[in-house]
Amino acid sequence: MKVNELMHVAVKAGEILIKSGAEIYRVEETLRRICSSYGVECEPYVLLSGIFLHAQEENGNPITVIKRIQGNLLHLHRIELVNSFSRDLQRTPLEYAAAIKRLEEIEAVSGFSLPVRLSMAGLTAFVYTLLFSGNALEGAVALILSIFAYYLRVKIAELGFFQFFEYFVAGVIAGAGALAGMKIFPEVNIYKIIIGAIMIFVPGVAITNGIKDALYGDVVSSLYRIAEAVFTATAIGAGVGIALSVGLRFV
């Protein structure tokens, strides 16, 4: 494989990793591993928003590839596949076409179907309402709200609004729905319903990963992740707050 083809393969692997929510150190390690499988020494500089990869061609010409990357959503299976792809390359280096084809296959791996994900979103809400000492009725209301909010989130993402809008909407649904739940069943605790319903939207994993990146020394990406998490939490909080303050006047 030529060096520029190799870099294309490496950057593509890195792009899949970042978009699937891998840690920065893992992406850099994978890029180094892919290049060294072909005896090329490279210098990766990876941010959450892009990859810079530098290497030297056989005749000594320096080449650099820059790739802008937007958005990251956790996709654990893809991280796993790219990881084993790069380890396989160490053992048996593939040709360019074969390597790109494998990466494209990895990119095409989809998650679970929408009905499965919807029911899991609902079940998560139910489980966490119970775990935060709510009762089954509160859990059931949270379940319905969570399914509805997750469905809207998927649809909004397809339409392509700005990034934090879907979290704001999730917050509004949780707040308004919990109020409606209280109207129907006056004995429920509205805060437990809200907490359950927004559990899948709150950025707990994002904050933790942000701190993890910082502890590995990738402070820039860490701040990026934490800032994103703060905006997400604010969007949800604003959604719930607005729904509650408007709703409470009518209830």
Partner 1 sequence: MKELILAFLGSMCPAILFSVEKRKMLWVGLGGSLGWGAFSLVEAATGQVILSTFAGAVMVGLYSEIMARALKTPATVFSISGIFPLVPGIGAYETAQLLVENKLSPATGKALETVASAGAIALGIMLMSALFKVAKRLAKRRKTA
| CB-CB contact of 144 with 104 (8 Å) | no
Q: Is the CB of 10 or the CB of 55 nearer to partner 1? A: 10
Stretch that binds partner 1, among 18-26, 41-49, 94-102, 178-186 (CB under 8 A): 18-26
Separation between Cα atoms, residue 75 and residue 81, nearest integer Å? 10
Identity of the residue, 94 or 207, whose beta carbon is nearer to partner 1 in the bound complex: 207
Q: Which is nearer to partner 1, 1 or 197 (CB)?
A: 197
CB of 195 to partner 1, least distance (A): 6
Q: Is 180 in the site for partner 1 (CB under 8 A)?
A: no
CB count in 10 Å sphere of residue 108: 8
Q: Where are the beta strands (DSSP E) in the chain?
A: 42-47, 50-56, 62-68
Torsion of CA 213, 160, 200, 26, to 10 degrees: -20
Q: Is 221 in the site for partner 1 (CB under 8 A)?
A: no
Q: Give the dihedral of Cα atoms 72, 75, 79, 85; nearest 10 deg.
A: -110
Give the 3-state secondary structure of residue 65: strand
Minimum CB distance to partner 1 smaller for 59 or for 113: 113
DSSP for 93-141, please give it.
PPPHHHHHHHHHHHHH---S-HHHHHHHHHHHHHHHHHHTT--HHHHHH
Q: Does 223 bind partner 1 (CB under 8 A)?
A: no
Among 72, 189, 209, 221, binds partner 1 (CB under 8 A): 209
Cα 192 from Cα 31, distance rounded (Å): 45
Among 10, 11, 19, 23, binds partner 1 (CB under 8 A): 23
Stretch that binds partner 1, among 6-14, 56-64, 97-105, 118-126 (CB under 8 A): 118-126
- Regarding 230 and contact with partner 1 (CB under 8 A), the answer is yes
Q: Give Cβ neighbours of residue 124 (< 8 Å, ≥ 6 apart).
A: 146, 199, 200
Binding span for partner 1 by CB under 8 A among 5-13, 31-39, 92-100, 227-235: 227-235
Q: Is 141 in the site for partner 1 (CB under 8 A)?
A: no
The one-character DSSP state at 50 is E
Name the residues that contact partner 1, by CB under 8 A: 21-23, 26, 74-80, 83-84, 110-112, 116-117, 120-121, 123-124, 127-128, 130-132, 195, 198-200, 202-205, 207-212, 215-216, 229-230, 232-234, 236-238, 240-241
